[in-house]
């Protein structure tokens, strides 16, 4: 790999009390060979894990991302800013791509730059519920890292409306994402910067 092996990398996620969420993160970190910490709700918290580089790992910009940057003192590009992310996401489809959603202009701009036609959100317009009332896709691609509340909400919404639609597992559980992440880790470390 292109970075020094003795650099201790810690991915930082929001956190959740949901055991499925915590297990998703733990399993992914084990597979990739890095440490992990959370900003809230679950252990270990950021101050309980020592590392050289803390990578706030979020789908896009928003208040949770900003909070992680402030808490860690490190800034990293969210998933929507990663190289070849559009190609990676399209390789999981065709289907409806579902994101949690945040009204942060940086997030909305990054989503529009993906230039993917079928995108819906849980929390902002266009919502997945409204989309599915008019069209049942063959596949829904949840653009979320882990199992947990958000993933379950996507599953529930799809099963209530479009019973035959396949819902992919979260990104952390897809072999293709694990490979994509491993390949990008040197780039991610290089593009993670201390703030202040």
- pLDDT single digits (tens) 31-76: 999 999 999 999 999 999 999 999 999 999 999 999 999 999 999 9
In this structure, what is the dihedral angle of CA atoms 77, 72, 180, 120, given to the nearest 10 degrees? -60
Percent of the residues in the chain that have a pLDDT greater than 90, as a whole number: 95
Paired tokens of 31: 């597979």
Has residue 167 got a pLDDT over 60?
Answer: yes
106-144, pLDDT tens digit by residue? 999 999 999 999 999 999 999 999 999 999 999 999 999
Residues 154, 93 share a domain: yes
Residues 88, 73 share a domain: no
In a domain, 187, yes or no: yes
Residues 181, 131 share a domain: no
pLDDT (mean) for 92-105: 95
Contact 82, 114 (CB under 8 A): no
Has residue 2 got a pLDDT over 60?
Answer: no
Question: Which has the closest alpha carbon to 10: 60, 71, 80, 99?
Answer: 71
pTM of the model: 0.94
Q: What is the pLDDT of residue 178?
A: 98
Q: What is the pLDDT of residue 1?
A: 42
Strand segments, DSSP code E, in 9-92 are 9-13, 35-38, 53-56, 74-75
Domain of residue 142, residue span? 81-171
Q: Structurally, how many domains does the chain consist of?
A: 2
Residues 98, 70 share a domain: no
Q: What is the pLDDT of residue 5?
A: 55
Has residue 23 got a pLDDT over 50?
Answer: yes
Give the pairing of strands 193-194 and 74-75.
antiparallel
Residues 156, 96 share a domain: yes
Has residue 166 got a pLDDT over 80?
Answer: yes
């Amino acid at each position: 790999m292109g970075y020094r092996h003795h650099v201790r990398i810690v991915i930082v996620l929001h956190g959740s009390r949901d055991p499925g969420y915590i297990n998703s993160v733990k399993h992914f970190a084990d597979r990739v060979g890095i440490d992990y910490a959370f900003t809230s709700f679950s252990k270990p918290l950021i101050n309980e894990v020592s590392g050289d580089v803390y990578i706030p790992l979020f789908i896009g910009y928003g208040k949770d991302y900003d909070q992680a940057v402030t808490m860690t003192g490190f800034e990293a590009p969210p998933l929507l800013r990663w190289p070849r992310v559009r190609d990676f996401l399209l390789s999981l489809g065709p289907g409806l791509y579902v994101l949690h959603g945040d009204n942060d202009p940086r997030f909305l701009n990054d989503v529009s730059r993906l230039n993917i036609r079928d995108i819906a959100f849980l929390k902002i317009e266009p919502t997945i519920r409204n989309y599915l009332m008019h069209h049942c896709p063959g596949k829904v691609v949840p653009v979320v890292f882990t199992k947990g509340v958000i993933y379950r909400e996507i599953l529930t919404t799809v099963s209530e409306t479009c019973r035959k639609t396949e819902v992919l597992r979260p990104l952390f559980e897809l072999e293709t994402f694990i490979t994509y992440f491993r390949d990008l880790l040197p780039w991610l470390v290089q593009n993670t910067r201390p703030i202040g």
